[in-house]
Chain A
Amino acid sequence: MSGQHSNSEIAVRVRGLEERLIGAGLTSDEQLDAIIGRVSSGSPAHGARVVARAWVDPAFRERLLADGNRGLEELGFSLSSGPQPQRFTVVENTPTRHNVLVCTLCSCYPIALLGPSPSWYKSEAYRARVVREPRAVLAEFGLELPGDTEIVVHDTSAESRHMVLPMRPDDTEGMDEAALAALVTREGLIGTAAA
């Protein structure tokens, strides 16, 4: 939490910055703690739970795709706790369409649901290249898509946040929801992996 940094050089510098911002009246320890709490509560496992439920419950899947915020709330998650509620949408992969997420301007990401984004998601290389040559970038991640698959790159440039709903892998008919959730990776939720 803010004010409780270990005694490393970077922590001292971070605390110095926090104190300057608080002193200038721009924020408070309480506000910083609330943000850190929101970020810390997110996890890719939460997204995986949402995906697994959508795989086993067609009615939930429909509701989730129609209104991502309401779908999250059914499972006890929310992106509405921040300074301004974020609209949440789930984009569905199909046999003919693959979705991949980016924020070319910075690093917008559904942090309160999924936790901090991976470092590559924030890298200039990923942000610059995935809008221009997604097929090549996905191949570098090990995802080779059929030539006729339509690719949609979603640039998170405003106040919405997104998550990809991967296709359910083959030969998983006998699996329960928990086992299915274990198949879902953070890359699958961003669209740089199949699941």
Chain B
Amino acid sequence: MTEPRFMAGDRVRTTTVDPPHHTRLPRYARGQVGEVVEVQGTWPLADERAQGLPDARVEPVYTVRFAAEDLWGPPGGHWVQVELWESYLEVVA
């Protein structure tokens, strides 16, 4: 089991990396700051499973909440929750 790097309430930034392979980090949520709502559990990293790698890394998956205004600009007014593997996330300094 991988010990989760983040916990509920932590602010995290999503990576801006645009990988040359399958990923489950939606483009609209890249390079955005959000708040961890929940640690869901651990799953094999989708990016590596999709490449048929035999031993895909198993990582924590987090529910991360983004303010609509951060993603799309005004008027905002709603939340978007995205479910993200740990590799997609960085610490917000």
Contacts and interface: CB of A to CB of B under 8 A. Distances in A.
Interface of A: 84, 87, 104-105, 131-132, 134-135, 150-160
A87 B80 contact: no
Interface in B48-85: 61, 65, 68, 71-72, 77-85
Nearest to B83: A158
B46 A158 contact: yes
Question: In the complex, which range does the number of interface residues on chain B fall in?
Answer: 20 to 34
Nearest to A148: B77
A152 B79 contact: yes
Contact of A155 (B72, B77, B80, B85): B80
Interface of B: 24-26, 28-29, 40-41, 43, 46, 61, 65, 68, 71-72, 77-85
B81 A152 contact: yes
A150 B78 contact: yes
Contacts of B80: 131, 152-153, 155
24 contacts: A104-B28, A105-B26, A131-B71, A131-B80, A132-B68, A132-B71, A135-B77, A135-B78, A150-B79, A151-B79, A152-B65, A152-B80, A152-B81, A155-B81, A155-B82, A156-B83, A157-B24, A157-B83, A157-B84, A158-B40, A158-B46, A158-B61, A158-B85, A159-B43
B26 A155 contact: yes
Contacts of B40: 87, 158-160
B79 A158 contact: no
Contacts of A134: 78
